């Protein structure tokens, strides 16, 4: 490897490697130092759309455990009759992959949320999906959502003194999640090997978590 | 007293939320490169992460500030790995693609950063390829992780508020009876705003 190859990649390669574009593959390596060679270019990456889901939370079963050293804890559960999984394009296969698309309902969903004092909601969520062809897929993920200034206190106080979301104008919290999947059904076993990423919204209405909707992709 | 509580929040002034239920279009999403992570670990299925002499956590082009997708400008941490451990597969399923790394790193401001990495890893040749890897052989694969972070550093507190998503490569090589795994990740930050 010549000395010039240790320099930064050309500007064209760097701009091509911007997120959202097909990344330039890195071949610039510095072998002059001890230890592993250092990359000097971005790795290729893309996202593969898997499915979307909507969850309506069960307000009757919301359990507030109280304040703990790491924050306030709330247990939340989904409503089976109003929670579903679907493909936004109503496709029957995963785009570009040919595997069966995932659609069905959410049989069970639970969240052990920790609302931290820095107004971050940290959640540990478990969901059981029953597909239309009766396969069961278990999905787990963590998420961090910023509730806005004073957001945790507003949710905990549970009072409607201010308008922290109404039925007509819910307060939307953008969320990003990192789901993993488990199933024993051979038709969907391919999903076990994927690390997912979810982009979604958590809706707060009258200071209570009410709904969650997400688009789930796989990191590829 | 949180002063933000004294100001009523009126969601009528916020943008109209997305329509609810059975959407027919995808939600907005953005991802942006934040930093890179290089790590070496030996062993398997239980891993011991080697300390690094160079910055294992760094920006690929030595930028000191990155802009998050929502516009927030954040300092890029540089850190050397002090110690760490991890696990390949699962004690219950040796064909599992699970990857877990727990890394403790010293930041350039002197504070400690704990990085938790969980995800998947696949080698060319399938999940058992690493078991049948010949002596002095090399095996390549890909790895995808989501990371969480803990630090008291005020400069890098933004890391504790978000997950990063890593697209990476892994290279396994065996020499002198020691299996060495070299991980290299580009970590991206994401938002649904």
Please tell me the least confidently modeled range out of A53-67, B6-20, B70-84, B122-136.
Answer: B6-20
Residues of A in contact with B16 (CB under 8 A): 169
The answer, yes or no, to whether the previous bond of B85 is cis (omega within 30 of 0) is no
Q: Tell me the range of A86-90, A96-100, A178-182, B176-180 where mean pLDDT is highest.
A: A178-182
Residues of A in contact with B182 (CB under 8 A): 36
Are the C-beta atoms of residues A143 and A201 closer than 8 Å to each other? Answer: no
* Best A24, A36, A196 residue to mutate vs chain B (most B CBs within 10 Å): A36
Tokens (6 digits) for B32: 């942006």
Q: What is the pLDDT confidence band of residue B129, given thresholds at 50, 70 and 90?
A: confident
The dihedrals phi and psi of B54, each to the nearest 5 degrees, come to -110, 175
pLDDT reading at A137 higher than 80? yes
Distance from CA of B110 to the nearest CA of A (A): 23
pLDDT reading at B148 higher than 50? yes
ipTM of the complex, rounded to two decimals? 0.87
Tell me the fold of B28-191. Porin (2.40.160)
Question: Does A167 or B151 have the greater pLDDT score?
Answer: B151
Cβ of A144 within 8 Å of Cβ of B29? The answer is no
- Which of A89, A150, A197 is the closest to B190 by Cβ? A197
pLDDT reading at A196 higher than 60? yes
Cβ of B188 within 8 Å of Cβ of A20? The answer is no
Q: Rounded mean pLDDT of A73-91?
A: 90
Q: What is the pLDDT confidence band of residue B4, given thresholds at 50, 70 and 90?
A: very low
Please tell me the least confidently modeled range out of A8-12, A62-66, A154-158, B73-77.
Answer: A8-12
Tell whether A100 is within 8 A of chain B (Cβ).
no
Q: What is the pLDDT confidence band of residue A14, given thresholds at 50, 70 and 90?
A: very low
Cβ of B22 within 8 Å of Cβ of A118? The answer is no
- Could you give the percent of chain B with pLDDT greater than 70? 89
pLDDT reading at A103 higher than 60? yes
> In the block, which residue shows the tokens 């040919």?
A98
* Best B141, B144, B181, B184 residue to mutate vs chain A (most A CBs within 10 Å): B144
Nearest to B142 by CA among B117, B163, B124: B124
Distance from CA of B106 to the nearest CA of A (A): 18
* Best B101, B173, B186 residue to mutate vs chain A (most A CBs within 10 Å): B186
> In the block, which residue shows the tokens 């785009």?
A95
The pLDDT value given to residue B101: 96
| Arithmetic mean of pLDDT over chain A | 80
Distance from CA of A157 to the nearest CA of B (A): 11
Question: Does A120 or A184 have the greater pLDDT score?
Answer: A184
- Could you give the percent of chain A with pLDDT greater than 90? 45
Q: What is the pLDDT confidence band of residue A213, given thresholds at 50, 70 and 90?
A: very high
The single-letter DSSP state of residue B28 is P
pLDDT reading at B11 higher than 80? no
- Which of A90, A118, A193 is the closest to B122 by Cβ? A193
Domain ranges of chain B: 28-191
- Which of A148, A172, A214 is the closest to B9 by Cβ? A148
Tell whether B31 is within 8 A of chain A (Cβ).
yes
Our CA angle for A149, A154, A158, nearest 5°, is 170
- Rounded Cα–Cα distance for residues A219 and B33 (Å): 14
Residues of A in contact with B40 (CB under 8 A): 35-36
Helix, strand, coil shares, percent, chain A, to 5: 15, 45, 40
Q: Rounded mean pLDDT of A76-89?
A: 90
The pLDDT value given to residue B155: 95
Q: Which domains are present in chain A?
A: 3-39 (no CATH), 47-219 (2.40.160.20)
* Best B146, B147, B152, B171 residue to mutate vs chain A (most A CBs within 10 Å): B146
Are the C-beta atoms of residues A200 and B26 closer than 8 Å to each other? Answer: no
Q: Is the dihedral of CA A95, A141, B164, B87 positive or negative?
A: negative
Our CA angle for A126, B98, A216, nearest 5°, is 45
Q: How many helices (H) and strands (E) does chain A have?
A: 2, 13
pLDDT reading at A131 higher than 90? yes
Residues of B in contact with A171 (CB under 8 A): 9, 11, 14
The pLDDT value given to residue A151: 79
Q: What is the pLDDT confidence band of residue B8, given thresholds at 50, 70 and 90?
A: low
pLDDT reading at B33 higher than 80? yes
A and B: number of Cβ contacts within 8 A: 164
Q: What is the pLDDT confidence band of residue A42, given thresholds at 50, 70 and 90?
A: very high
- Rounded Cα–Cα distance for residues A151 and A144 (Å): 13
Tell whether B162 is within 8 A of chain A (Cβ).
yes
Q: What is the pLDDT confidence band of residue B21, given thresholds at 50, 70 and 90?
A: low
Q: For the segment A21-36, what is each residue's pLDDT rounded down to a tens digit? A: 333 344 444 444 445 5
Cβ of B9 within 8 Å of Cβ of A171? The answer is yes
- Rounded Cα–Cα distance for residues A198 and A139 (Å): 12
- Rounded Cα–Cα distance for residues A53 and A105 (Å): 9
B residues 174..193 contacting A (CB < 8 A): 182, 184-186, 188, 190-193
């Amino acid at each position: 490897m010549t000395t010039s190859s240790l320099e930064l990649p050309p500007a064209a390669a760097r701009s091509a490697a911007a997120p959202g574009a097909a990344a330039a593959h890195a071949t610039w390596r510095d072998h002059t130092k001890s230890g592993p060679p250092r990359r000097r270019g971005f790795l290729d990456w893309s996202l593969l759309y898997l499915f979307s889901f909507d969850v309506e939370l069960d307000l009757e079963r919301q359990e507030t455990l109280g304040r703990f050293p790491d924050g306030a804890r709330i247990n939340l559960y989904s409503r089976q009759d109003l929670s579903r999984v679907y493909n936004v394009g109503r496709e029957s296969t995963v785009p570009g992959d040919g595997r069966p698309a995932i659609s069905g309902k959410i049989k069970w969903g639970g969240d052990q949320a920790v609302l931290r004092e820095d107004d971050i909601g940290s959640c540990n969520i478990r969901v059981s999906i029953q597909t239309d062809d009766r396969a069961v897929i278990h999905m787990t993920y963590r998420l961090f959502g910023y509730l806005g200034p004073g957001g945790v206190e507003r949710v905990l106080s549970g009072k409607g003194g201010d308008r922290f979301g109404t039925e007509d104008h819910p307060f939307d919290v953008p969320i990003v999640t990192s789901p993993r999947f488990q199933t024993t059904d051979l038709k969907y076993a391919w999903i076990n090997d994927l690390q997912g990423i979810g982009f979604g919204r958590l809706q707060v209405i009258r200071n209570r978590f009410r709904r969650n909707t997400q688009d789930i992709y796989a990191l590829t | 007293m949180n002063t933000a509580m004294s100001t009523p929040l009126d969601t009528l002034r916020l943008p109209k939320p997305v329509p609810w239920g059975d959407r027919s279009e995808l939600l907005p999403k953005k991802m942006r490169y934040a930093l890179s992570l290089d790590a070496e670990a030996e062993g398997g299925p239980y891993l011991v992460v080697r300390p690094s002499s160079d910055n294992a956590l760094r920006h690929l082009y030595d930028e000191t500030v990155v802009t998050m997708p929502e516009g927030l400008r954040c300092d890029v941490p540089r850190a050397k790995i002090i110690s760490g451990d991890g696990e390949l597969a699962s004690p219950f399923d040796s064909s599992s693609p699970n990857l877990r790394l727990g890394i403790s790193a010293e930041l350039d401001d002197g504070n400690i950063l704990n990085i938790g990495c969980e995800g998947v890893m696949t080698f060319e040749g399938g999940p058992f390829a690493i078991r049948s890897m010949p002596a002095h052989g090399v095996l390549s694969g890909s790895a995808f992780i989501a990371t969480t972070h803990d630090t008291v550093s005020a400069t890098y507190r933004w890391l504790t508020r978000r997950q990063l998503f890593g697209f990476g490569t892994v290279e396994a090589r065996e020499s002198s009876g020691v299996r060495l795994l070299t991980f290299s990740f580009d970590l991206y930050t994401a938002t649904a705003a």
